[in-house]
Amino acid sequence: MVRGEIYFMDLAPRSGSEQAGRRPCVIVSHDVFTANPRWRSVTVVPLTTAERWQQASPTTVQLESGDGNLPRACTALAHQVTTLDKSKIVEPAIGHLAEHRMAALETALANYLQLR
């Protein structure tokens, strides 16, 4: 498991406007933490195909079908970054985002967390 890989994860239970259910998520945790077997959690950015997120914003990244082996176009929601137990991973990695897509996701995370 490395930063930038995409896994299907079970995000239930959730509440309110949080992304829920089984969906692809991009790993954004530092590789040192995800490689440590005693570190049972992983930080991810969930992806969505919801129509309302299919437009540009400072905290989203538009991904095309095929990016990281995604079966269809979707949006990474940096404003929904969350930490989950690794047991919520429901299948092996489907792919890995290209460097330019990860750079865009890092920018979206920095925008959301006001890191710059």
Give the pLDDT of residue 19: 57
23, β-bridge pairs: 9
What pLDDT score does 51 carry?
87
Tokens 């992304």: give the residue.
19
The per-residue pLDDT for 21 is: 74
Q: How far is CA 108 from the centre of its chain?
A: 12
Q: Measured between alpha carbons, how far is 103 from 116 in angstroms, rounded to an integer?
A: 14
Name the residue type at position 84: L
| pLDDT tens track for 59-79 | 999 999 999 999 999 999 999
Distance from C-alpha of 112 to C-alpha of 106, rounded to nearest angstrom: 10
The ranges of the chain with pLDDT < 50 are 15-16, 18
Question: Phi and psi of 78, rounded to 5°?
Answer: -60, -30
- Topology, domain 5-113: SH3 type barrels. (2.30.30)
Please report, for the chain, the start and end positions of each structural domain, with discontinuous segments joined by +.
5-113
pLDDT of residue 56: 85
Can you give the pTM of this predicted structure? 0.90
| The predicted structure's pLDDT at residue 96 | 97
